[in-house]
Amino acid sequence: MTAAIDVVGLTKSFGKSKVVDDVALRVGRGEIVGFLGPNGSGKTTTIRMICGLLTPDAGSGTVLGHDVRRDSRRIKREVGYMTQKFSFYEDLTIAENLIFVARLYGMTPVRAVVGATLDELGLTDRRDQLAGTLSGGWKQRLALAACIMHRPRLLLLDEPTAGVDPKARREFWDEIHRLAARGLTVLVSTHYMDEAERCHRISYIARGRMLATGTVEDIVRDSRLHTYVVRGADAELTARIAALPEAAQVAPFGAVLHVVGKDANALGRALEPFGRVQGVSVAPGQTSLEDVFIQFMTQAQGAP
């Protein structure tokens, strides 16, 4: 698969703090890749290096065929970048904001370009609404419209659905898949596991270092974590289970406990006595992507 992003060794420090450390990332054309990691893990800094806003201290590679270190101006022209924070003029209408962006890119005829974009994103009926009066979901749609209006080949989304309701999030992701089906490549950072599972592949970064890359199935399998589901445990039993050395994680989901460990046999033997308690059942379960990422975070926090 031809790569839209193909970088290795990306490193960036601010003062004495190394924010991104030897990161490699490859994204094929037309792929949707989820970029995950805790706050402060280096996601935004990596994205800014990829789109030409920051120059790496070290590393090399290409973005859309352009050198990531030397061709930042060319990269910027062919990339759409949607930041975490809504960054448009709230006292201008949707259409006025898009006209401003179109003029920045030198697009002509401006009103025709804006009109087509409004139609494509379902914004025509709201074109005269002030941006500051929009709900989170409609602000998100305006931001996406501004990002794709110049027909970029790569879309970089930095936690685009934070604070957006579930319906708007689903509609947003439907739109992203529609764009990807037309050949647009998407790299999206997110904290939501259901969004990660809608990506073709995912990459996980912590403390500036890439820990895992692959499909959801690959990453869950390679984690070698095993999960048991315990039903009917009261607070006392839950505390005892959490104290088991074989249990790396114990997470309640309503009245059900997910108990995760590295050794399936050892964990099963440790939980067996609890299954003999009246009203309590213990059974093998399915390890989730969230289980894996919690383990990654735990390991990263314990790293020197």
Distance between CA atoms of 167 and 248, rounded to whole angstroms? 34
Residue intervals of the chain classified under CATH 3.40.50.300 are: 3-220
Q: What is the CATH number of domain 226-286?
A: 3.30.70
Residue intervals of the chain classified under CATH 3.30.70 are: 226-286
At residue 284, the pLDDT reads 95
Q: What is the mean pLDDT of the chain?
A: 92
Q: Which residue has the tokens 């974009």?
A: 117
Cα distances from 12 to residues 18, 48, 259, in angstroms, run 6, 11, 38
pTM of the model: 0.88
Q: How do residues 31-40 score in pLDDT, each as one tens digit?
A: 999 999 888 8
Q: Residue range 53-72: average pLDDT?
A: 95
Q: Residue range 98-115: average pLDDT?
A: 94
Q: Are strands 3-14 and 17-28 parallel, antiparallel or unpaired?
A: antiparallel
Distance between CA atoms of 163 and 17, rounded to whole angstroms? 29
Q: How do residues 181-199 score in pLDDT, each as one tens digit?
A: 999 999 999 888 889 999 9
Q: Which amino acid type is present at position 90?
A: E
Q: How do residues 224-277 score in pLDDT, each as one tens digit?
A: 999 999 999 999 999 999 999 999 999 888 889 999 999 999 999 999 999 999
CATH classification of 3-220 is 3.30.70.2190, yes or no?
A: no
pLDDT-derived band at 303, boundaries 50, 70, 90: low
